[in-house]
Amino acid sequence: MVIARIKQSHLYRHVLKLGDFFPALFFFGGFIWDALTIGRNVASSDLIIFFSYLLIAGAILFTIGSPRYVLAEPKKLPILLKKLYQRLYWENLPYFVLQFMFGNLLSALFILYFKSSNHGLAWLMSLLLAIMLVANEYLEDEYKKFTLSWALFGFCAMLLFNFALPYLMGSLHAAWFYISTLLGAAVAYWLYRKTPNHDGSIKPVGLIAAVLMLAYSFDVIPPVPLVKRDIAVGYALNKVKGNYQLSQQPADWWVFWRKTSNALQVLPGQRVYCFSSVFAPSGLKTRLYHRWQYHDKKNGWQTRSHIGFTLSGGRYNGFRGYTYKTDLQAGDWKVSVETENEKTVTVQAFTVETVKTAPSSIVLVY
């Protein structure tokens, strides 16, 4: 009997030690799953799942912000329910589930915005979501102060509506971003007003909405739900059996991790093509632009052309478009893929060197 008890105590300690790793396992497991299943495109089923997370989080906030007869009076419960209450640590369980829901939302939002962020300023949004995702693992006790819970709920609601409204309306007009941000904030305010106890403060939600709209105006937030597929520059472009074949500058032999180089050797008068592929949800129609810019040492980046083409969503491998220019001046160039309201989808930087003999090239299929 004594030996059995000792073995049981050792086993119990091992189980407790293993339990210390559960949060990390859940965190990395959930993140890897999201990374594999989310973000290559935007499907209605994904949005339904994300809004289900938000609905559950809202229901928990309403419950723990209401008069808690069951939570406050466990002694009045029947004996079986009382034991269940003690086993589940019910007073902490709602906060744990709330943390779990916010973790799922932040993980999904990080993947979506990371996939849609393809230029310098937009990476700031992805970085913020990454920091919040990691910080969420240590904030369970902070949710009991409610102000943080309302702020996170409002933040997640706004970002989800930023995705959903353009998706449903089939438009990337700037108005939908501002409307969706205000709609997400309004949902948080409405739920707060309906919750009986009004614990915590809802004011940070208004501040978050203002910051998001300001960030959007400065092109910090990517034009979701567009997702960049490919962008490349090259010498000649042909369409063969539904695929585009782009002749490109091969990378130097020591750059073994990539096939092509963005340091172009160009003949006088030769065309340079920019090919881009962007995913857009089915039903979304907009117009994209290629902004060709040259870096002048005195005046900085100067726009040399701004060429548009129409995009119709729904093609899984992305909507493809291209533009070209001739007689490019030697030096630093970049092509920005932009929406109608000048929000940047992605940027391709490259250099041009004028040569007298045709350089070698390789052909890639897109």
Domain ranges, ordered by start, for the chain: 38-217, 227-365
| pLDDT for the residue 313 | 58
In DSSP notation, 187-254 reads: HHHHHHHHSTT--S--HHHHHHHHHHHHHHHTT-S--TT-EEEEEEEESEEEEETTEEEEEEPBPPTT
Distance between CA atoms of residues 164 and 47, nearest Å: 7
Q: Give me the pLDDT at residue 19, please.
A: 47
Pairing of β 285-296 and β 236-240: unpaired
The pLDDT, as a whole number, for residue 303 is 95
CATH no. for 227-365: 2.60.40.10
In contact, 41 and 316? CB cutoff 8 Å? yes
The reported pLDDT for the residue numbered 10 is 54
| pLDDT at res. 21 | 47
The rounded Cα 102 to chain-centroid distance in angstroms is 15
Beta strands 362-365 and 344-354: pairing type?
unpaired
CB 351 within 8 A of CB 332: yes
What is the rounded distance in angstroms from the CA atom of residue 328 to the CA atom of residue 167?
38
Q: Which pLDDT does position 124 carry in this prediction?
A: 81
| Full pLDDT tens readout for the chain, 366 residues | 444 444 445 554 554 454 444 444 444 555 555 555 554 555 677 788 889 999 999 998 888 887 654 454 555 556 655 555 555 545 577 788 888 899 888 888 888 787 777 767 777 887 888 888 778 877 767 777 789 899 999 999 999 999 888 888 878 888 999 999 999 999 999 999 998 888 889 999 999 999 999 999 888 888 877 877 789 999 999 988 888 899 999 998 888 888 999 999 999 999 999 999 887 777 677 788 999 999 999 999 999 999 987 766 555 556 788 999 998 999 999 999 998 888 888 899 999 999 999 888 999 888
Greatest Cα pair distance in the chain: 92
pLDDT at position 330, please? Answer: 95
